[in-house]
Amino acid sequence: MLSPKIEEALNAQIKIEADSSQFYLAMASWAESEGLNGTSRFLYLHSDEERAHMLKLVRFVNERGGSAVIPALDAPPHTFDSLNGVFEKLLSHEEFVTQKINELVHICLEEKDYTTHNFMQWYVSEQIEEEALARTIMDKLSLIGNDKGGLYLFDRDLELLVPQDNAAAQ
């Protein structure tokens, strides 16, 4: 059984994951409208991945005798300045998600809920991978700068880069 505090924290995380999915969907759609097909494919998959993170939490809350709340979503921006701007926002959003996951893990310890603590370890590992991937992409973009040929190759390379959770499904 979940304590009210844990249930509330897990429901807050459900909203964060759903908002993340919506945010990356907006980025994917923008990239597609800019003709950045590799980038948009990558971001569409990333958006799907965030929805999977949300679903995993929904099912856990319900299985543990709680009641998952399906939230209203914040409207994401629908336009972005540049590819650099997109991935800067993605990285800082992932850093925010990591902070929220860490806070949730801390609440699990305070509440002595070791089952939820164990469940949350998957998210802790996932955040390490997601932040590392976003930093790798930012490093590539800063090497490329404004070189059009480099950006073309970057977009093509991103088409081949499949987010971790989707790799098995390809």
Positions that interact with ligand FEO (CB under 6 A): 17, 20, 50, 53, 94, 97, 130
Element (H, E) at 38: helix 37-63
CB of 118 vs ligand FEO, minimal distance in Å? 18
What is the rounded CA–CA span in Å between residue 52 and residue 167? 13
Q: How far is the CB of 89 from ligand FEO (least distance, A)?
A: 12
Taking residue 6's Cβ as centre, other Cβ atoms within 10 Å add up to: 22
- 112: alpha, beta or left, given left = phi > 0 and alpha = psi -120 to 50? left
Query: Is the CB of 19 or the CB of 151 nearer to ligand FEO?
Result: 19
Kindly tell me which of 116 and 151 has the beta carbon lying closer to ligand FEO: 116
Residue 11 CB, shortest distance to ligand FEO, in Å, is 15
> Between 20 and 116, whose beta carbon lies closer to ligand FEO?
20
Q: Supply 149's token pair.
A: 């040929």
